[in-house]
Amino acid sequence: MLEWLEISPELTLVATATRAFRHVPQAFGVDPFRAPMLGAGAPETTHWLLAGAIAEAGRAFHGWRTGTSSRTQENEPVSPSAPHWAYRLAGYFHTTDATRRLLPLVARRFAASGRRALASWAEQKISEEAGHDQLALRDLSELGYRARELASALVPARAAAWVALFEQLAQADDPAGCVGYAHALERLALLRGPAEVSAIEQGLPQGVNATRCLRVHSALGSDPRHVRSNVLATAASSADERRAIVSACHSAARIYFDPAFDDDLDLRRIEARVLAFQEHARPVTLSRGNPNPIQVTK
Amino acid sequence: MNETWLKIITRAWNEPAFRVRLLDPKQTNDVLKEYHIDIPDGISYEVLEDGVKGKHYLVLPPTPSDDGSLTIDNFGRTAQSGDPGF
């Protein structure tokens, strides 16, 4: 059993039941992977094809990371300052709010085209994700910010790109790609575990619970189960639908890995923008990246 | 590339001399280069005619190496601020 997807004329992803790998199509003659994927899917191969699409996006921007070499200092969890975390929470708000806005449209479109299994997947997602758009706002409020105002004013570049992609997929002739978008975000969320949550909490004022949104969208939340349901929904889809799903998954993963969307590198500027929305006095430690860390009370 | 290959096939069917050159392993690369096909150093092509005397060829794609395997977890925290929240 094999599944595959042409990423470009020079690269095809191929998945077996135990791995995914890159295949460079032969320029001439017979190469079975030059033709679009045919036939039914299976959970094992679909799992690896989706995993391969995400990993290939990472490889494209950051090269190979294999075995123990992945545990570089670059990959160690970092503790953002509270204002920096607030900026990132604004990103969480925008992507989760897009889920609330767009999933009902996607469900209706699947149902209208008679695709009951995909409609059921979307309906299940609507139920599972209900209220999650409020989590980032609650975290922002907990940090002492005017949450709704801050989230309306600040749109991190990566979140904006994800929302734009989701809107495009939801309105496409075939919205099947939305499954791949959801899978990419939920699978990537699983890469955040207790170490990442702990690192972020260390940068926040003591006693402040502002990691509700992160915990839900991490390996500590319900995303492991959601990822499994995405794989099963994809595997049960037609070959054309699976190609659309895995392609969208790859596109969403590229946004995650693309350093062009790292718009929070200028922490001084980010923190200044965020602090304008502070509602009540709460001591804030600014980022370690600043030459002279200072306590600010507004 | 497929279009170029189709042109070569068509010409081989119509020009016996060209067909002979194409099928000659010592000349195949030169024929392909005449069609502006970039052939890296150390690579040689061989063209086999399918179906002659009832003999058909199946091409086994290269066996993937472990170096080409794709896994997610090693890329996990590369984007420190890429917060995926569906």
Rg of the Cα atoms in chain A: 20
| A193-to-A77, A137, A188 alpha-carbon distances in Å | 10, 21, 11
CA-based nearest residue in chain B for residue A163 = B86
Q: Is the pLDDT of residue A295 over 50?
A: no
Q: Tens of pLDDT along A221-235?
A: 888 889 999 999 999
CATH number at residue A183: 1.20.910.10
A291 within domain boundaries: no
What is the identity of the amino acid at A170?
A
Q: What is the model's pTM?
A: 0.85
Which residues of chain A lie closer than 8 angstroms to B69, CB-CB?
A: 19-21
CB contact under 8 A, B84 and A95: yes
Dihedral sign, Cα of residue A166, residue A170, residue A176, residue A178: positive
Q: Where are the domains of chain B?
A: 3-81
Q: Tens of pLDDT along B43-53?
A: 899 999 988 98
- Quote the pLDDT of residue B19: 97
Task: State yes or no: ipTM above 0.95.
Answer: no
- Quote the pLDDT of residue A285: 61
A189 within domain boundaries: yes
A290 within domain boundaries: no
Output the DSSP codes for A79-141.
Answer: ---HHHHHHHHHHHHHHHHHHHHHHHHHHHHHHHTT-HHHHHHHHHHHHHHTTGGGHHHHHHH
Locate A96 and state its tokens. 């989760």
Which residues of chain B lie closer than 8 angstroms to A214, CB-CB?
A: 83
Which residues of chain B lie closer than 8 angstroms to A10, CB-CB?
A: none
CB contact under 8 A, A191 and B59: no
Q: Which range marks the domain in which residue A185 is found?
A: 70-275
CB pairs A-B closer than 8 Å:
143
A198 within domain boundaries: yes
Q: Is the pLDDT of residue A276 over 70?
A: yes
- Quote the pLDDT of residue A286: 63
Domains in chain A, number? 1
In the three-class reduction of DSSP (H, G, I as helix; E, B as strand; rest coil), residue A157 is classed as helix
Q: Where are the extended beta strands (E) located within B1-86?
A: none
Q: Which of B61, B67, B74 sits opposite A65 (nearest CB)?
A: B74
- Quote the pLDDT of residue A284: 61
B→A interface, C-beta within 8 Å: 1, 5, 37, 45, 58-59, 61, 64, 67-86
pLDDT band at A9 (very low <50, low <70, confident <90, very high): confident
Q: Tens of pLDDT along B8-56?
A: 999 999 999 999 999 999 999 999 999 998 888 998 999 999 889 899 9
| A94-to-A65, A154, A237, B38, B44 alpha-carbon distances in Å | 30, 9, 29, 47, 53
CB contact under 8 A, A23 and B67: no
A31 within domain boundaries: no
Q: Tens of pLDDT along A80-132?
A: 999 999 999 999 999 999 999 999 999 999 999 999 999 999 999 999 999 99
- Quote the pLDDT of residue B82: 82
Q: Which of B69, B77, B84 sits opposite A20 (nearest CB)?
A: B69
Q: Is the pLDDT of residue A287 over 80?
A: no
Q: Which of A30, A62, A95 sits opposite B86 (nearest CB)?
A: A95
Alpha-carbon distance of B82 to B77, in angstroms, equals 9
Rg of the Cα atoms in chain B: 21
- Quote the pLDDT of residue A75: 61
A284 within domain boundaries: no
CA atoms within 13 A on the CB side of A268: 6
